[in-house]
Each structure stands twice: as C-alpha cells, then as structure tokens.
Amino acid sequence: MRKRVFHLACLLACLTVALPGLAQEGHPLTGTWSGDWGPDLNERSHVTLVMTFEGDSVTGIMNPGPNSVPLDGVALDVTNWTVRIEAEGEDEAGGTVSIMAEGQLEDIHLYNRTITGTWHQGDVEGDFILTRD
C-alpha cells in the first residue's frame, strides 16, 4: 500500500512540473523576430520585427529605435500558415516607400519558428527569412 501511495505521489509531482510546459504560449506571431532580406545572397539588409497580438489584430514595429517603422498591417492565414506584413518606410532620399512581405510560417510547434518568403521594398524585390528570438 505504501508503495502505491509513493508511486502516486511521484506521478503527481511529475505532472505538476510537466503540465505548465504544455500550456499555450499565445499568438504564433507574438514576439521579436530577426533576420535579413535582399535581392541576392551578397546584398542583404538586417531586419527586426516586434509583433504583439492585441485582441483581434497583430500590431508592431520594424527595426525598433529612432528610425523604427510602424507596421500598417499584419495578417495570418491559419488555414495554410501564410503571413502578410505591410508598412510604409523611408528611402535614402527621405521619400515614402512601400514595404510588403509575404511568407510561410514554418516550424510552428517550435519557439524559434521561422517565416520565409518574398520581400518587396519600393521597386526592389528579394527573399527574406525571419526567426523568432
């Protein structure tokens, strides 16, 4: 009898430790994402996105700091895990440039999931990869 009680106590202790690890962590896009984009392997630009789920939408900023760019729209299609990110930034001359990234959310089961796809900034098109930090 004592052996059963001991085994039951051990099982309960293990479950108490393990179950919080199975809890949901929130919206799959929430967090800080970093990576790069560019038209080829030699010409790359670093990019950091900070995104937060706020009730019914995802908001955020690109490249936090003095020259940050607010995200105008973030859409996630959970039927195929595609992501669309839109923003308005500045070019080198100080003019407005449209930024649009479309990609695939991959490794959704991992904390350090990735988004890969196509990046459009003004008239330049390239690929990008972002990893959640």
Task: Write down the domain spans for the chain.
Answer: 25-132
The CATH code of the domain at 25-132 is 2.40.128
60, 52 in Cβ contact below 8 A? yes
**Percentage, residues of the chain above pLDDT 70:** 81
Q: Report residue 94: phi and psi, to 5°.
A: 90, 5
Residue 70 has pLDDT above 90, yes or no: yes
**Residue 103 identity (one-letter amino acid):** G
pLDDT of residue 18: 46
Residue 127 has pLDDT above 60, yes or no: yes
SS3 81: coil
**H or E, element range at 17:** helix 2-18
pLDDT of residue 26: 79
pLDDT of residue 4: 65
Lowest mean pLDDT among 25-39, 73-87, 119-133: 25-39
Residue 10 has pLDDT above 90, yes or no: no
pLDDT of residue 55: 84
**Residue 41 identity (one-letter amino acid):** L
pTM of the model: 0.79
